[in-house]
Structure 1
Amino acid sequence: MRFGKSVLAGAVLAVMMIGGSVCQAAPGDPWIMKPVEKLGRGIANVAFGPLELLMKGWDVTQEQGGIAGVTYGPLKGVCYVIAREVVGVVDIVTFPFPLPDCPDDPAGFGAGYGPIMRPAYVVDIKHNAFNFVYDENSIVSQSY
């Protein structure tokens, strides 16, 4: 009997959390897609966060040269790995709720389901070292 009450309480809590996110959704947006996108971003950041170690070394090498890329790059990468993992866990835990100062539009303000950290993912179109994710001859990478 106690087990049934705790299952019922958990179901009610889940419905309340999802219902709260539905009420917070922006008009015109699909009510479920923003929280799901936030959950997917959190899972990707936790899973691929260690790639920051390589990506920051690459970024520092491109901006400041090889010596800085070998010395300062890994140190910057370790800091970003920790930050990316924490942000991923926060996104996973809070996916049903919009967070303050996380608008969907980078120039916007207010609460939203946007990324806490920019770029939103470890590897994006601008940080594509060695054509790791996007081929440089693809339509996506030629559009900017």
Structure 2
Amino acid sequence: MSRRLFVVGLSICLVGIASLGLAQEEHKHHQTMAEAGSYKEFSSGGAVEVGNKICPVSGEDIESMGGGSKYEYEGKIYNFCCPMCVEKFKKDPQKYIKIIEENMKKEITDIFGSKMSPEEGSHGHSGHSH
């Protein structure tokens, strides 16, 4: 009987310790995201979201580090995978803006095709308005 109580008590302790470890990991993640939030240096007044989904510094998906960071530069809000990439962007913004523009052109080309002209894009729309 006492052996069974010991095993049950030990099991409860192990589950409690494991839960505590997971809770600390979750807390650490939230701390990191809170720190990353300090890099969201932008104002909503008049700034335009560029909408880049790829970090211009690392080439990673913006969501790869858990939500990413935002930074406003010259009235535009750029997205980054992490705060470290924001710091690198600040050192040479024009270099990374060019990368963002190239990535977005490539994305548009991938969606619509490279040879689509304005005439091709408007075909099939005569006789009705949008």
TM-score (normalizing by structure 2): 0.39
Structure with higher Rg: it is 2
Relative contact order: is structure 1 or structure 2 higher (C-alpha 8 Å, sep ≥ 6)?
1
**Higher helix proportion:** 1
| TM-score, with structure 1 as normaliser | 0.36
Greater per-residue strand proportion: 2
